[in-house]
Amino acid sequence: MTLLIGLVFLGAFLAVAFILPVLSFLRASRALRRSEALERELAALRALVAPLLTRPHESPAAAVVVDDGTSSAASSEWAATVRALSADRRTSPTATFGGEFATGTFDGEGATGTFDGKGATTTGPHISHADALEERIGARWLLYAGIGALVLGVSYFIKFAFDNGWVSEPLRVLIGLLAGVALLVVGQRFVRSGLAFFGHALSGGGIVVLYVAIYAALHVYDLINPTVAFAGMAGVTLVATALADRHRMQALGALAVAGGFATPMLVGGGRDAQVVLCTYMAILLAGTLALVVRHGWAGAAALAYVLTGVTWLAWSSAFYTPAAWLRTLLFLTLHLALVIGMSLVLRRRQPPSVGAPPTVWLLLTAPLVYHAVALVILGRFQGRLLVYLLLATVAGLSASYHAGWRWARPVVLLLVALPLIEWMSALHLPRWYSGAIVTACAVYLLHLAGQWRDLSDDPADAPLPLAEIVHTHATGLFLPLALYVFFNDRFAWWNPPMVTAAALWNAALAGLLRRRTPVLWWHFLTLAATLAAIAVSEWFDGPVVAIGWAMEGAALGWAALRSPDVAAGRDDAASRDDVAAGLVRRTWLLRGSLLLFILAAFRLVDALIQPMPLGSWPILNTRTLAAALVVGAMAWLAARVREEPAHLGGAATR
């Protein structure tokens, strides 16, 4: 009996505190819209009647319309006035007619205003019903306050009922499920009635209530098993996704994404289910990708990416073992492909959606995170690491070509070269020596082929971009550096012939490209000169690093001097853009050249202050040769600057 009385009071409380205010608000809103429509109609009718009052004493004969070309113009003017007044929601309903008809009668009906005798109506002050403070207080703020009071009151009542045992545990879960469904249904009714914001808020609350009810049934009351709970939460996620897609509401989409990724954590479990979990995450990412394709929701994409990382981190900290390395990498690759798909959709969408640029940059960190995780997973596995580095190089070069981002190739080279060189320097198993050398050569050749493929699409006379210059020199120095580090602790006597062979190889490439790619050949020539100077130092045991930096500094300075200008006589937007790009390229090349010369000078000074080995000649030794090469490189570049001052802004810059 007590339970029945409590339920009756609960129903009455809901009716008084929630249902009645909502119904009143709906009726008031409907009446307000009807009143505004009537006001617009009345204003339009007054605009039609007002011109007739300019001729109040004319006879019917005088009223005959003569088509002198002005009647159609007047009609058009009246029609435009009617349309403007009909669209104006701020027109006051208290317009008055003045003049001699101010007595209050017109055609036998009571006049509600005055007419000034000039065909114009005098309107009262504009009243904005939509923005009125009274409406906001009465129709919105009090409603929100009532909903808040309702939530607090119902929460305390339910807690009181639970504490006193009025409601059993299954009934509590059932009440939660029914409440969530009721909020969804009522929210959708509000959306169809025109109260979209309020309806979506109620629908979102219903989705949260359903998640909480299923969670309570699983973990609090132990009424269902994890499989049923997972299926129920997945169903709620599908409903939320469908509503978000139907109403084009990103907030509901974000709620669906958050709820979907929270489902495995809410369900929990003490066993490893990597295949199920990763497949489920792939489905969530695919669904998010579909929403991004349809609506361009950058916020949902960013949220899905972040929650994917959080889920992976939570799983790996609890269940990852080295035996699962292949399965883990495959699922990571699948998730990476879906995230990159989101970034491509957001990048190409026109017009760009809100928040798309920062979201694209956030999603582009996914390959970097993937690469770092892959290196950690593979660790010191010899063959697996080499295969991964080759595949990463191929994928990175292909993505750079299709995306049209030239700077991606130097980034890919850096991300692959650093772990490869570090691994080669620490390698102690002779059976992997040949594999290490072959992998380094393969990475070099892949980058060389990738650069030539990209440049094949450019015009022959186009200036070489800064990214291509950096990539050319970085690629040309990568292979000798990797082999030098590898040979230094194992076969040091191979370094001089290896560097000499690298210099000859770059010289041959320069000769091959002189006619085919004129903008590129002399960069290989400078690489050949740099490696030749290093080879001389190696043969005579000199300071290799100082010579290498000085030669590269001279090469970059020469590249800045040879950076082509825009053809004379051109003064269009494209030429101005070319000039700006050329100045930026030249500035960075000069800065790089100066930095390398400074490093070479410090390295040379450090070598010169070291004690001389016994038996060395006082002047004719490797240190003197190194100093001559470094100073000669600086002098050669200074002479080139003096010959071509226009490229560097005149004598002051020199």
Per-residue model confidence as pLDDT tens digits over 48-102: 887 776 655 544 444 444 445 555 555 566 556 555 555 554 444 444 333 333 3
Q: What is d(CA 567, CA 565) in angstroms, rounded to the nearest whole number?
A: 6
Residue 510 pLDDT? 86
**What does the chain come to in residues?**
654
Residue 538 pLDDT? 73
Q: Does one domain contain both 403 and 525?
A: yes
| Domain final residue pick, 358, 388, 404 | 358
Instruction: Kindly state the helix (H) or strand (E) to which residue 522 belongs, with its residue range.
Output: helix 518-539
Q: What single letter denotes the amino acid at residue 215? A: Y
Domain-embedded: residue 441 = yes
Domain-embedded: residue 69 = no
Share the mean pLDDT of the chain: 77
Say if residue 623's pLDDT is above 50. yes
Q: What single letter denotes the amino acid at residue 354? A: V
Domain count, the chain: 4
Domain-embedded: residue 13 = no
Q: What is d(CA 524, CA 262) in angstroms, rounded to the nearest whole number?
A: 55
Q: Does one domain contain both 385 and 491?
A: yes
**Tokens 């609506």 belong to residue:** 295
Instruction: Kindly state the helix (H) or strand (E) to which residue 106 belongs, with its residue range.
Output: strand 105-106
Residue 335 pLDDT? 96
Q: Does one domain contain both 437 and 478?
A: yes
Q: Under DSSP, is residue 115 helix (H, G, I), strand (E, B) or coil?
A: strand
Domain-embedded: residue 561 = yes
More confident residue, 233 or 602: 233
Q: What is d(CA 483, CA 433) in angstroms, rounded to the nearest whole number?
A: 11
Tens-place pLDDT, residues 415-467: 999 999 999 988 888 888 899 999 999 999 999 999 888 887 777 667 778 88
Domain-embedded: residue 599 = yes
Q: Does one domain contain both 303 and 326?
A: yes
Say if residue 654's pLDDT is above 60. no
Domain-embedded: residue 254 = yes
Domain-embedded: residue 113 = no
Q: Does one domain contain both 490 and 591?
A: no
Tens-place pLDDT, residues 183-202: 889 888 888 887 787 788 88
Cβ atoms of 207 and 239 within 8 Å: the answer is yes
Q: Does one domain contain both 388 and 527?
A: yes
Q: What is d(CA 172, CA 152) in angstroms, rounded to the nearest whole number?
A: 17
Could you tell me the pTM of the whole model? 0.65
Q: Does one domain contain both 398 and 527?
A: yes
Q: Does one domain contain both 237 and 279?
A: no
| Domain final residue pick, 327, 358, 389 | 358
Range of the domain at 298: 272-358
The upper half-sphere exposure of residue 307, i.e. CA atoms within 13 Å in the direction of its Cβ, equals 25
Q: Does one domain contain both 514 and 565?
A: no
Domain-embedded: residue 493 = yes
Q: Does one domain contain both 224 and 337?
A: no
Residue range 271-294: mean pLDDT, rounded:
91
Q: Under DSSP, is residue 105 helix (H, G, I), strand (E, B) or coil?
A: strand
Q: What is d(CA 411, CA 471) in angstroms, rounded to the nearest whole number?
A: 9
Residue 129 pLDDT? 44
Tens-place pLDDT, residues 570-599: 444 555 555 566 666 677 777 777 777 887
Q: Confidence class of residue 376 from pLDDT cuts 50, 70 and 90?
A: very high
Backbone angles phi, psi at 122, to 5 degrees: -105, 120
Tens-place pLDDT, residues 117-173: 444 444 444 444 444 555 665 556 665 666 567 666 666 766 777 777 777 888 888
Q: Is the bond preceding 430 in cis, omega lying within 30 degrees of 0?
A: no
Q: Does one domain contain both 393 and 517?
A: yes
Residue 461 pLDDT? 67
Q: Confidence class of residue 336 from pLDDT cuts 50, 70 and 90?
A: very high
Cβ atoms of 252 and 205 within 8 Å: the answer is no
Q: Provide the 8-state DSSP code for 458.
A: S
Q: What is d(CA 209, CA 203) in angstroms, rounded to the nearest whole number?
A: 10
Cβ-proximal residues to 125 (8 Å cutoff; 6+ apart), any chain: 92
More confident residue, 633 or 301: 301
Q: Which of 208, 189, 187 is nearest to 199 (CA)?
A: 187
| Domain final residue pick, 216, 233, 258 | 258
Tens-place pLDDT, residues 510-547: 888 877 777 777 788 878 877 877 787 677 566 667 77
The upper half-sphere exposure of residue 614, i.e. CA atoms within 13 Å in the direction of its Cβ, equals 0
Q: Does one domain contain both 432 and 451?
A: yes
